Amino acid sequence: MTTCDERTLRTAREQYWAENDFGADGGDSLKWVTVKAFGIPFKIPNTEGRRRAVRVHDLHHVVTGYKTDLRGEAEIGAWELATGCFRRPAAFVLNLLVISFGFFLAPRRLVRAWARGRRSRNLYGVPYDDALLAQTVEATRRGLGLHPAPPPARATDAVGFGLAWLGSLPLLALPTAPLLALFVAVWWLL
């Protein structure tokens, strides 16, 4: 994470969208968005709840520095859950889903992100307006308690993350259910 970023959140967000090919509005105007899991693309509805959550989620990517690959999304998912994203159902469910997968790819990184989240705050309760977007990235990081050097994870962080991950496991079955149904159908037909 850059230690002193004087770009506004608006400017940094637009650069983040451009770097990730998310379009001029970050995909906000799309009815369906394409999400990739393990290189397999699938579409999900871009509901109003998802839009509200993603607007803030994108700012979280900017201030935390987590990437948009599956590991990075799992890290930010762990961070957002630990900071308390429960009032945004779309964020809560999507974050649980991504940590259920991400755990198998980068468990230590997720525990570190969880630890970082336990010691910082998120933007979900802050009005998403021009005043927020005019803040600098650095001022926002300071306001959220995001320090340049993330804190080390403690045993309590590992336990907390482990409980969240266990709670996410039922969601892990959702994307695999159609494949399982296809497998069972083919097996019965043969």
Residue 41 has pLDDT above 60, yes or no: yes
Q: What is the pLDDT of residue 178?
A: 64
Q: What is the average per-residue pLDDT within 8-28?
A: 96
Residue 175 has pLDDT above 70, yes or no: no
H or E segment to which residue 158 belongs: helix 155-189
What are the Cα distances from residue 95, in Å, to 28, 34, 129, 145, 185?
Answer: 19, 16, 24, 21, 31
pTM for the whole thing? 0.87
User: pLDDT, tens digit, for every residue of 43-89?
Assistant: 889 999 999 999 999 999 999 999 999 999 999 999 999 999 988 88
Written as six digits, the tokens of 33 are: 């968005």
6's CB contacts (< 8 A; 6+ apart) are 136, 137, 138
Q: Is 35 helix (H, G, I), strand (E, B) or coil?
A: strand
Q: What is the pLDDT of residue 39?
A: 76
Residue 3 has pLDDT above 50, yes or no: yes
User: Residue 107 carries which side chain, given as an amino acid letter?
Assistant: P
Question: Which of these, 15, 93, 111, lies nearest to 54 by C-alpha position?
Answer: 93
Domains of the chain by residue range: 9-189
Local structure of residue 65 (DSSP, 8 states): -
Residue 185 has pLDDT above 70, yes or no: no
CA distance 160 to 188: 42
Q: What is the overall mean pLDDT for the chain? A: 90
User: pLDDT, tens digit, for every residue of 113-164?
Assistant: 999 999 999 999 999 999 999 999 999 999 999 987 888 999 999 999 999 9
Q: What is the pLDDT of residue 189?
A: 63
Residue 1 has pLDDT above 70, yes or no: no
CA distance 112 to 180: 33
Q: What is the pLDDT of residue 2?
A: 47
